[in-house]
Chain A
């Protein structure tokens, strides 16, 4: 089955760190670009970060630049998001998403990150 499965969401204190993972299956992971997209409770979608096939090109939203790092391991079919210096406004469901400039065609089920004292 073609799918993306996120993990790693948790409750973390402000200023803390968390690492999200995304396991891909059912397709050739190395042939696709990936993103992280988040959705705060009751809010709309916010793009967070993008990575090309071989992680040579990385893009970040201004709101997370310098704090979050996207990476991928094509040998393990996995995508990661290292989140440092977390803030309350980072509280959201984080989705692992396949796609690039043309569209986002495959979404994971999401993992909840809560930043609170």
Chain B
């Protein structure tokens, strides 16, 4: 069964850049990223590794190499403080969706 591993937390100062990694145990083709602000439902940030839905600012970017994906956020704002999750559809054993454990971003 696929497992996606994320760092539990990252932090950076306002205006800086931060990256969040997502390491997988299977070669999933597409990874997506979700932002969950405190007390709210998750929101899609990045899909198909590096595409942004309409309305998502270009401060957010995604990349993927092999079994690892990365979310990048530039020009950090206090409003970016949230939990971030990566996710992918996995068919290694039985078809199912898997999320990473989530990363808490703190903007110092």
Contact = CB atoms under 8 A, between A and B. Distances in A.
Interface of A: 35, 37, 44-47, 50, 59-62, 95, 99-110
Interface in B83-108: 83, 85, 87, 89, 94-102
Interface stretch (B13-21, B40-48, B67-75): B40-48
Q: Tell me the interface secondary structure of chain A in the complex.
A: strand
A102 B97 CA distance: 10
Q: Tell me the interface secondary structure of chain B in the complex.
A: strand
Given A37-B97, A47-B99, 6 more contacts: A45-B34, A45-B99, A46-B99, A62-B94, A95-B41, A103-B48
B85 A45 contact: yes
Q: How large is the interface on B (under 10, 10 to 19, 20 to 34, 35 or more residues)?
A: 20 to 34
Given A44-B99, A47-B98, A107 B42 contact: yes
Contacts of B42: 37, 45, 95, 104, 107
